[in-house]
Amino acid sequence: MNSLDIKVLGPGCANCNNLEKLVFDVLAELNADANVSKVTDYKEIVSYGVMSTPALVIDGEVKFSGVVPSKAKMTEIITGELAKRR
């Protein structure tokens, strides 16, 4: 199974850092493999159509922007993406 490609979009604000930590926490709990990267370049962020950060992109698809979701919601999102690969 190939791993998810997850991008955390944001300039490095507290919420962006919180989102990145949340992604790693949920992946660890699920024992899931993913390539996680942080995108801080505004032009690249806007190229995803994102106007408010932080935002989360999984496999090229924007999952949400402008919020840090609850841990339960993040787990649901990542679990759903993993299920698509099985």
Which residues are the active-site residues?
A: 13, 16
pLDDT tens digits for range 25-74:
999 999 999 999 999 999 999 999 999 999 999 999 999 999 999 999 99
Q: How far apart are CA 78 and CA 4, in angstroms?
A: 9
The reported pLDDT for the residue numbered 2 is: 73
Secondary structure class of 24 (helix, strand, coil):
helix
* Prediction pTM value: 0.93
User: Residue 34 in contact with residue 20, Cβ under 8 Å?
Assistant: no
- 1 falls in which pLDDT band (50, 70, 90)? low
Please state, in angstroms and rounded to a whole number, the distance separating the CA atoms of residues 43 and 4.
23
What does the pLDDT read at residue 85?
81
Q: Which of the two residues, 43 and 1, has the higher pLDDT score?
A: 43
Domain architecture of the chain: domains with CATH? 4-84 (3.40.30.10)
